[in-house]
Chains A and B, each alone.
Chain A
Amino acid sequence: MLYIKCPYCGYRSQKEFAYGGDGTIKRPELNQNISDEKWDEFVYFRKSPRGKHIELWHHIAGCRQWFQVQRNTVTHEIFQTAKMGEDIK
């Protein structure tokens, strides 16, 4: 069970959180013409990298904030967690 540092609450066990997928996906702006390819890319296609991965987690049984986690998908090492909008190095 992972031990995740919520940027708002501090270290908590994984069972307080929900996983939110790839944290680098940007939703296309509203009211834009978007090609089928671009839209499908956004809705369906996700990479499954081996190694460093920036992902979203939701502190669902805590402060209910979404935030970013940079994690090694092989070893589960967590390098950094950050609030939304903050840079991950």
Chain B
Amino acid sequence: MSQSHRLNNEGLVNRDNKISFKFNGKKYFGYEGDTLASALLANGVHLVGRSFKYHRPRGFFGAGVDEPNAKLQIKLNGHSEPNVNATEIELVDGIEASSQNCWPSVQFDIGAINNFLNKFFPAGFYYKTFMWPKSFWYKIYEPFIRKAAGLGVASAKKDKERYEHKYEYCDLLVTGSGPAGLSTAYAAAKNGAKVILAEDKPRFGGSLLTDNVTIDNLSGKAWSYKIISELKEMPNVIVKNRSQVFGYYDHNMMVMFERTGDHLKDKPKYTPRQRLWYIRAKEVLLSTGSIERPIVFGNNDTPGIFLSAAAKEYIKVYGVLVGKKPLIFTNNDSAYETALEFKNQGIQPVILDTREEQSSELIDEAKNQNIEIKFSHAVMAANGYKKVKSALIGKLNKDKSGFETSETIECDCICVSGFWTPTVHLASQSGNRLEFNDQIDAFVPNISKQNEKSIGASKGTFTLKETLEEGFKIGFEVSKNITKNDNFVSTPNSNEPKKNIHDKFWCSPLPEGKDYKRFVDFQNDVAVSDIEIALREGYRSIEHVKRYTTLGMATDQGRTSNLNGLQLVANVEKKIVPQVGHTTFRPPFTPITIGTIVGREVDMEYMPTRKTPMHTWHEKNNAVFVDAGAWKRPRYYKQGNETLLEAAKREAKNVREHVGICDVTTLGKIDIKGPDAAEFLNRVYTNAWLKLPVGKARYGVMLREDGIVMDDGTTTRISENHYHMTTTTAQAANVLSHLEYYLQVVWPDLKVNVLSTTEQWAGAALAGPKSRSVLAKLFPNLDVSNESLPFMGYVEGDLFGVNARIFRISFSGELAYEINVESDCGLFMWKKMMDIGKDFNIQPYGTEALSTLRIEMGHVAGPELDGRTIPSDVSLEGLVSKKKDFIGKRSLQKEAFNKSDRQKIVGLVPTDKKSSIPEGSHLVVNKNAKLPNPKLGHVSSSCWSVENNNPFSLAIIKDGKNMIGKKLFAVSPLKNTAIEVEVISSHYVDHEGKRVRS
């Protein structure tokens, strides 16, 4: 198909580079520099989609972010993306676009029956219809609505594109490169400020590209080129096109979305598709311009109806005619510029002006060019289903409440202008409380809450001269405050047509006996009648009317519909717009991809992976890893076809019978130094610390101020004023913050320093009856006898040339040692241990066996210290000093913590000695009792006891100490189990603790 609506000489597209693309399966051609919309219009294609609710045919309406209708499904480079705005996406070779929300095709859409049944689809239809029966919602109504409504289809495939994040700081961020943005950025940059200028379109210049004006004796377009090229050369300026500042957050944190690769056919490998910028700007200057608003009339959603400025942009930027028989419908002067551009191309437009006959530069020019102007006229309704064929027009009566005449006029497009609405979204997001300006019938920014200012059309300044003056002045003043420089650039002279004031006419009355649909919001299919219904039904607050009718919602955020909607509510309610108020503007201003938000934080980069120095050894020896926070820990070392349980049993048994080795590098380690270190530990831990000798370790429990156990671990006195604390893997970071809090905030007089050394030390636990034999061979020069290195002893040694710290501490309940060496030597230590241990049947064990060993010993860990237990709940009351004060001690006196039937840790064994008890099971007396079955407690940890060869669990249960010997049921509705259990002591193995001291 030829480009039937392409002009030969006009526009900024590159006619030397022809680009082929597909729309709804059909092949078309456009040019480099086209958008998908301009290329389709060049081919005479107007019908692009079906409306949201009534499935009415819809065409292009705008030329940029203002577009409410043309949301397409785009396929390119193997990925598929829904809801892409056809007026914003640049044409690239091979792009395949298709219409959304229609079946079987956009030309013949079954759903359009909704349009003929529209009496049955009033505002709030879904709310009213799908209320009952309640049970129908999930299975019938919701799937139906989801299928019927909605826009495009999200891809279920992995997104292979690359997205990036970038952080930037500047003095001034200028959002938009029209005359306001260019002059502000230029004045500030010349005054030495660090400036970022962002433009959401591919081309800089904004309205200067389309308006017939001069600046500094250059055409607007030429002046914009000159300024941009100067700015690009300046080292203190970053100039970015294809970049939309979409969010204004606290303390001038601005977020910008840059389309870095979408317009490139062959993107270099590491060029991201899109980039998210976080920009912290000292000052934000909002030069976001304005968006033309429509006039509402009958069937005003028919394809072929455009905003008049969009029609002008298609001619001036893309060299495309949106029609060859245009009707211009306006309440102000600016649409005359569109009419004159048509005329320049040899097309004869007709202008309908709702104002009475008058004279201005533009009106006179149109008259001189023999353009037919009908004053006091308006469009009643458009005719045509898939494309405008003609318009029913008439002369308005005196008060514009009805028509005096009626005639049909042939046309193939209607270009409408209802004056201009400042784009105040970012200002509003910043917390600026907008005020209504009744000179322009729109909201404008008022008092700033953050460091921002609006300039030009975005604050309602609609003449070029004033805009440039504002820009140069404010750019200078704001930059002067920051840079203290005084380089003033004077405002260049400019020339523009002077315009008459606009008419407040915004909605054509219905001709008698007609009930044309008059749409206020195209994207959500909200017509005048829908808003009237909402008001009749009692909705008053504009926020409620918005939610009930969906006016102004969805991806275009009511950019073309908000003010007309407010005007309508005001009219019906007999109020004025400022009394109605406006709905809240929220980021993002335009839709952005999820990929951009996520950036590089996918796959491996989602979070850092912490690996111990022995990780490669674990990998080589078939370790199956488990995540412990960011750490990778071996869960078990798989041999042959072993299951997890089989491996855990084998590894744990080997510890009980011979010797095992476990990587304990992940334990939190904190170095504590200072003359008051002992006093500090004495306050942090519940037990006594003042008399711990050098060379000894002690087990300690720390509480929160509310008496709940926070963490446990051992701390060793390395020298007089030097301690080495260990924490659980999970609580390492919290404990450090906790210690820092007390040292810096509560007791700053204590002379103590704390420092995390978790990553500086590699740790290995040697556990089992033969561990001393291994240790003796590892440190042949050291006396490791029970007398010289007793339980809770500490000694330093030389491990084949490497300095090592040897702690005789045990988590498994066996004779055990933990040896630390500097991280770099961790793998060396591990290999030596494995090598020497060979003669003693050494085997590595993972976290599963580690748990098994501690559970059957009755040692508590995370599942018991779950943020709900006090020391006595987990049988740690022996560690609570009665003599000294410590963090959280006062809370332990609270009544609830001292009740005689307070919860307590116990052991559980299934009476059949076979059934494993799921962790999290609830303990009840009667498994068949009516729900809610009174719960006595819960199972916190479960294992297969290798010592007794049957399942064993720890549980925390009400009145636990008097429950020993009773039989209960452990029920797990999740696993559908109810297991009879006997309550026993939590110490299932080695009650007297002989082994650790052996």
Give chain A's interface residues, CB within 8 Å of chain B: 1-3, 13, 18, 20, 27-28, 30-31, 34, 36, 39, 42-44, 56, 58, 60, 64-66, 75-76, 78, 84-85
Contacts and interface: CB of A to CB of B under 8 A. Distances in A.
A58 to B, nearest CB: 6
Nearest to B431: A75
B250 A76 contact: yes
Given A1-B249, A2-B250, A27-B746, A58 B280 contact: no
B740 A64 contact: yes
Interface in B790-849: none
Interface string B737-774: 10011001110100000000000000000000000000
A43 B885 contact: no
A65 to B, nearest CB: 6
A85 B748 contact: yes
A1 B745 CA distance: 25
Nearest to A4: B251
Majority secondary structure, A binding face: loop
Given A3-B280, A39-B891, A75-B449, A65 B744 contact: yes
Nearest to A44: B706
A43 B889 CA distance: 12
B705 A42 contact: yes
B682 to A, nearest CB: 10
A2 B978 CA distance: 52
Given A3-B253, A58-B741, A43 B748 contact: no
Contacts of A2: 250-251
Given A66-B741, A84-B744, A31 B705 contact: no
Given A3-B280, A31-B885, A34-B890, A66 B740 contact: yes
A30 B744 contact: no
Contacts of B890: 28, 34, 39
A56 B891 contact: no
Contacts of A3: 250-253, 280
Interface in B265-286: 278, 280
B894 interface: yes
Given A27-B746, A30-B885, A84-B748, A1 B250 contact: yes
B854 interface: no
Contacts of A20: 741, 745
Contacts of A31: 884-885
Nearest to B888: A43
B745 A43 contact: no
Contacts of A28: 890
Given A1-B249, A36-B894, A66 B705 contact: no
Nearest to A33: B890
A20 to B, nearest CB: 7
Interface string B857-901: 000000000000000000000000000110000110010000000
Given A20-B745, A34-B890, 15 more contacts: A1-B250, A2-B251, A3-B250, A3-B252, A3-B280, A18-B737, A20-B741, A28-B890, A30-B683, A36-B894, A43-B891, A44-B706, A64-B740, A65-B744, A78-B251
9 contacts: A1-B253, A18-B737, A20-B741, A31-B884, A43-B891, A58-B741, A75-B431, A84-B748, A85-B748
Interface string B200-224: 0000000000000000000000000
Nearest first, the 9 A-B pairs at minimum CB distance are A3-B251, A30-B885, A66-B744, A1-B253, A31-B885, A76-B250, A27-B746, A39-B890, A66-B745
Nearest to A78: B251
Given A39-B890, A42-B705, A58 B253 contact: no
B582 to A, nearest CB: 20
B705 A58 contact: no
Contact of A76 (B251, B884, B891): B251
A39 B706 CA distance: 9
B250 A43 contact: no
A10 B136 CA distance: 58
A70 B253 CA distance: 20
A22 B644 CA distance: 47
A25 B705 CA distance: 13
A85 to B, nearest CB: 6
B633 to A, nearest CB: 24
Nearest to B253: A1
Contacts of B280: 3, 13
Nearest to B252: A3
Contacts of B745: 20, 56, 66, 84
A63 B884 CA distance: 33
A34 to B, nearest CB: 6
Given A31-B885, A36-B894, A75-B431, A43 B741 contact: no
A10 B241 CA distance: 32
A63 B891 CA distance: 32
Contact of B737 (A13, A44, A58): A58
Given A1-B249, A58-B740, A66-B740, A43 B705 contact: yes
Contacts of B706: 43-44
Given A66-B744, A66-B745, A1 B251 contact: yes
Contacts of A60: 737
Contacts of A36: 894
A76 to B, nearest CB: 5
A43 B251 CA distance: 32
Contacts of B741: 20, 58, 66
Contacts of B894: 36
A84 B745 CA distance: 6
Contacts of B740: 58, 64-66
B427 to A, nearest CB: 16
A19 B634 CA distance: 34
A18 B741 CA distance: 12
Nearest to A32: B885
Contacts of B249: 1
A7 B740 CA distance: 16
Interface string B980-996: 00000000000000000
Nearest to A28: B890
Contacts of B744: 65-66, 84
A2 B884 CA distance: 42
Contacts of A64: 740
Contacts of B683: 30
A39 to B, nearest CB: 5
Contacts of A78: 251
Which of A44, A56, A64 gathers most chain B CB within 10 Å?
A64
A84 B627 CA distance: 37
Nearest to B884: A31
A39 B280 CA distance: 43
A30 B636 CA distance: 46
A76 B252 CA distance: 11
A79 B83 CA distance: 44
A34 B705 CA distance: 14
A85 B747 CA distance: 11
Contacts of B746: 27
A18 B26 CA distance: 56
Nearest to A31: B885
B738 to A, nearest CB: 11
Among B253, B741, B744, B894: residue with most chain A CB under 10 A: B744
Nearest to A20: B741
Contacts of A76: 250-251
Residue of B683, B744, B745 with most partner-chain A CB within 10 A: B745
Contacts of A42: 705
Nearest to A18: B737
Contacts of A39: 890-891
